[in-house]
Structure 1
Amino acid sequence: MNKIILFVIPFLLLSCKKENQSSYQIPQEVSIELESLSTDSLSVRALDVKDDTFWFAGNRSTYGSCHDSLPGIHKGRVLYNGNDQLEFRSIAITTDYTFILTAGNPALIYRISHENDSLALVYEESGEKVFYDSMKFWNDTDGIAMGDPQTDCFTVLTTYDGGDSWSKIDCDQLPKIVEGEAAYAASNSNIALQGDHIWIATGGMASRILHSPDHGKTWEIQETPITNGGEMTGIYAVDFYDEKLGVIIGGDWNSKENKVANKAITYDGGATWELIADGNGPGYCSDITFVPNTDGNELLAVGSPGIWWSGNQGKDWKQLSTTGFYTIAMSNDATGLLAGSNHISRFELKRK
């Protein structure tokens, strides 16, 4: 396996999280070490982690797993009616199972057993407008998936029996879309869950958050300042540290260097969003995550242009690598997995 150490970054000690009384201090130097696990010709946009085991899903009907500290990866493949070219872009893990969901028509949710790697098809849907973007689980029984509009609302699936059965939330219960509003199956990061809260990110002709405070019973719209109005503009990823502190990132896929109005933060659960590092830091990114165990201060943002790190909730950023990835997952404050086009890499953050 090839190991590459990229860009040691000097970083001044700056202020911490807004109204944060924690003892966190921004490290003076940060670097990233990448360890290549796979260079197969796969496009992987779906990652999740549980108990130090990472699972991924990608194109060509492929899925797989690897452990945080063990070498190599385990891969599997799905065959559906003779089709071995399925595109998986959504993934979620429970204690006993991993669920993977295709983008495009037909929509297929497969359940993979952790005990014996057996596959079960637990949901199937066909239709011209069927296209799912993201999937998450609160716990071992309750899960949610979202997809592009099929009528005048986004498509939202829920399960309350551990993924055995899935049903759609009626459109009458969901906010109506703006004409041309859509979502991007770019990193399995359209959905964030904390407590009973759900946040779903949108793009296209509107960059909004669909928010439910009560496990999907009622919904409201949260407006954001993220760029919109173009074919590939909007929010590409959302993450919440707790029920109040959250971040969104995206931009314009057709103008990746544009750093204006592409990242924002909330301190009140999404009721209000404010731009961060506007015109600075990363441009277009497809994923963002709060680094675990850093009191909501550290962020990692990734996209095809590279990897970016912030130690003060996005006020300032430093680029750690020019190697591009689509999606990121972390098992602790130092280690995680990155996946993208034709490569999957384990990484470690180094701090001084």
Structure 2
Amino acid sequence: MQGPAQDLADGLAVGGRGAGVGWALKGTGTDARFRGLAAVSRSTAWVSGSRGTVLRTVDGGRSWQNVSPPGAQDLQLRDIEAFDARRAVALSIGEGEDSRIFRTEDGGATWTEAFRNPDPRAFYDCLTFFDARHGLAMSDPVDGKFRILSTRDGGRSWDVLPNTGMPAALPGEAGFAASGQCLVSSGPRDVWLATGGGAVARVMHSRDRGLTWTVKDAAVPGGDPAKGVFGLAFRGGRGLAVGGDYRTGEPSPQAAARTADAGRTWRPSTAPPAAYRSGVTWLPFPQPAALTVGPTGTDVTLDGGKTWRPLDEGSFDTVDCTGADHDRLADAACWAAGELGRVGRLEVR
């Protein structure tokens, strides 16, 4: 490793809250709540959230451009995926026509509405991309099964996939649009979907870009509309699930789990975060280190999710790091975003 990635690895090895590394807040000039986040590099990141707000920085957070889609001020943009400083796709959530997908190719100067949900029974929660062309979005169950949208042209057009390969949903089961991480991908074809609200929390896995799925219990407590898996992160077959009970003050024991076989089996963390967590991401270096965030703070694992320890007390809803690409480690970075316009970049203290 080299540069920022090595600095982060060294800092996290120090251990203990307040030691080594922490979040450096980057003033955004807004009080919007950001649950959508795309980390492109140390200099470039996109955030999306309440009141149809989309911000972009290309100077490491020193300044932010308001590049919100025109006419979206009544929408909740809960997920955003960005390919670089110019190309991004954003999802708004809600019943019926409130669920929409927007796309830009010029850094947010102009946006195209690529999809508007025509079905009042559908409620889209998250989206993910395998590469710059192929992506999926997911809706809460319609006719007893989760609904999947697919694009093959970078988000310009979207089609509903057949549901014949999708397992039946449990009564009350749905996705949580809390961090843009209820649907995540790794590699060219694998994708995972997180659920909650049913009798058990589950994770579904597809190896063929959403055509057929398997499902497993996630080892995170369910059994209540406020409980389940809120965020997933995968790197190859190694995966993390975080969640709990999102209600303020409610306990969230065993709010994290891990898998080493692409989700065929899940094990609860032996030392999980102490409270509900909504977002999770692998750190941008090959070691099995990751971050998870929630309203009460940030936790870090250095052993692939087996044990977690507190890193920071500040509130965030979502977190994202650049990938562990050896050719780009010098530009590696982790970003977090949340309520009241809070955005931070992980830095050595």
When the two structures are superposed, what TM-score results if normalisation uses the length of structure 2?
A: 0.86
Contact 1:24 1:294 in 2 (8 A): no
| C-alpha separation in 2, matches of 1:239 and 1:256 | 25
Residues 116 and 270 of structure 1: CA distance in aligned 2, closer, same or farther (over 3 Å):
closer
Give 5+ residue unaligned stretches, structure 2. Answer: 1-8, 324-328
Between the aligned partners of 2:136 and 2:63, the Cα distance in structure 1 is 30
| Aligned residue pairs, count | 324
Aligned match of 2:216 in 212, 216, 222? 222
> By how many angstroms is 1:286 displaced?
0.4
Q: 1:102 aligns with which of 84, 92, 95?
A: 92
Counterpart of 2:3 in structure 1 is none
Equivalence for 1:212: 206
Structure 2 contact 206–214 (Cα < 8 Å) conserved: yes
Once the two structures are TM-superposed, the CA of residue 141 in structure 1 deviates from its matched residue by: 0.9
Provide the C-alpha distance between the structure 2 equivalents of 1:101 and 1:181, rounded to a whole number of angstroms: 21
CA contact (8 A) 1:44 1:340 kept: yes
Residues 32-47 of structure 1: pairs in structure 2 closer than 5 A: 32-47=22-37
Shift in Å, 1:221? 1.1
- CA shift at 1:172, angstroms? 2.1
1:179-198 aligned at under 5 Å gives the runs 179-195=171-187, 196-198=189-191
The structure 2 residue matched to 1:84, chosen from 68, 73, 76, is 73
Shift of 1:258: 2.6
In structure 1, stretches of 5+ residues that fail to align are 1-22
Offset of 1:263 from its aligned partner? 0.6
Partner SS for 2:13: coil
- The Cα shift of 1:97 comes to 2.0
Q: 1:344 aligns with which of 335, 342, 345?
A: 342
Partner residue in 1 for 2:282: 290
Corresponding letter in the other structure for 1:335 = A
**Letter of the 2:14 counterpart:** Q
Relative to the length of structure 1, the TM-score reads: 0.85
Q: Which residue identity is paired with 1:194? A: S
Matches within 5 A, 1:240-251: 240-242=234-236, 244-251=237-244
CA drift of 1:331 comes to: 3.2
Q: Hey, what does 2:49 align to over in structure 1? A: 58
Determine the C-alpha separation between the residues in 1 that align with 2:228 and 2:258: 15
Give, as a single letter, the amino acid of the residue that structure 2 aligns with 1:238: L
CA distance in 1 between partners of 2:276 and 2:76 (Å): 23
Asked if the contact 2:227/2:245 (under 8 Å) is kept, the reply is yes
For residues 263-315 of structure 1, what are the alpha-carbon distances to aligned partners after superposition, in whole Å with 9 as ceiling and x for unaligned?
1100111100000035x4332000011111042x2111100111111222233
Correspondences of 1:1-352 after superposition (within 5 Å): 27-29=13-15, 30-52=20-42, 53-67=44-58, 69=60, 71-80=62-71, 84-95=73-84, 97-105=87-95, 106=97, 107-114=99-106, 117-195=109-187, 196-205=189-198, 206-242=200-236, 244-254=237-247, 258-278=251-271, 280-295=272-287, 297-331=288-322, 335-350=333-348
Structural RMSD (CA)? 2.3
Task: Tell me which residue corresponds to 1:11.
Answer: none
**Is the contact between residue 282 and residue 321 of structure 2 (CA under 8 Å) also seen in structure 1?**
no
Shift of 1:49: 2.2
Relative to structure 1, the CA distance from residue 68 to residue 176 in structure 2 (aligned partners, 3 Å threshold; closer, same or farther) is farther
